[in-house]
Amino acid sequence: MHKATGLVSDYGALELKKSYQLNFTLGILLAAGIHLGLIGGVGLYQYLTRVDLEDIPVITIRSIQELAPPPSVQSRPPQVQVEAPKIAPPSVGIPKPVPDEMVTEEITIATRQQLATLVNPASVIGSGGEGAALVIDIPEADFLPSATEFVAVEQNPVVVKKVTPVYPELAQQTGLEATVVVRILVYKDGSVKDVIVVRQSGTKVGFEESAIEAVKQWVFKPAIQNQKPVSVWMNYPIKFTIQN
């Protein structure tokens, strides 16, 4: 009987063992290259599209009149500038006399450029245009009501801390008594922002000065409108009586 002999072939598991290390190394290098390419591409895009903050112009709003109205929620197509037709103005006739109560005060009408500035401060030439940073720097006093301005409130201010006015020495010596009515600007945090006298005592012994000095130290529960505290003016009588 003859025994069959054969040559050992490199095909199969032995070939895989020999090429495993090479294939593994190539795979690691390929994956690393892909990741580095992605990260580098993102970094390159950010570098090319970055905006230097120092180059952004800044527009500063310093008064309420300069604030623009809120943008419209409806997109509108850009308007085409049409030159106004050149028409000769009508000749002015002879003015007719009218009663004094019908005479209107002289009103200064803003120009088209001024109106455009109020509507869109960013469109002013030299202010930066689109992409400019808008800074609101309006003094807080501009938002406070004037002494004659009516402010509707649901709840009036309530005094929670009073400081008794000092009785003027001269009035105390002479037995003078008086009532001073002051108008108080109660700020939305309950503090007193301003005090003015709306009805004097009729004397010159210092009732008014003493009342103002004391009321400035008062603390209030602020007025409420729409469930929020608001600043409001209120009148308050200050009575000076000699205690026996």
How far is 174 from 242, CA to CA, in rounded Å? 10
3-state secondary structure of 68: coil
Q: Which homologous superfamily is 144-240 in?
A: TonB (3.30.2420.10)
The model's pTM is: 0.48
pLDDT band at 164 (very low <50, low <70, confident <90, very high): very high
CA dihedral for 123, 126, 131, 135, sign (positive or negative): negative
Those residues with Cβ within 8 angstroms of residue 224's Cβ, 6 or more apart along the chain or in another chain? 153, 154, 155, 230
Which neighbouring-strand residues pair with 225?
228
Separation of alpha carbons 99 and 227, rounded Å: 47
In which residue are the tokens 């030159």 written?
A: 83
Q: Where are the domains of the chain?
A: 18-50, 51-65+119-143, 144-240
Mean pLDDT of the chain: 77
Asked if 223 contacts 156 with a C-beta cutoff of 8 angstroms, the reply is yes
Q: pLDDT, tens digit, for every residue of 171-208?
A: 888 889 999 999 999 999 999 999 999 999 988 899 99
What is the predicted pLDDT for the residue at 26?
A: 82
pLDDT tens, position by position, 106-132? 555 556 655 555 545 544 444 444 555
Over residues 35-82, the pLDDT tens digits come to: 888 888 888 888 777 766 566 677 777 776 666 666 666 666 677 777
Is the confidence at residue 214, as pLDDT, over 80?
Answer: yes
Q: Phi and psi for 119 in degrees, rounded to 5?
A: -70, -40
Segment holding 100, helix H or strand E:
none
- How far is residue 228's CA from residue 210's CA, in Å, rounded to a whole number? 32
Question: Looking up tokens 């007719």, which residue turns up?
Answer: 96
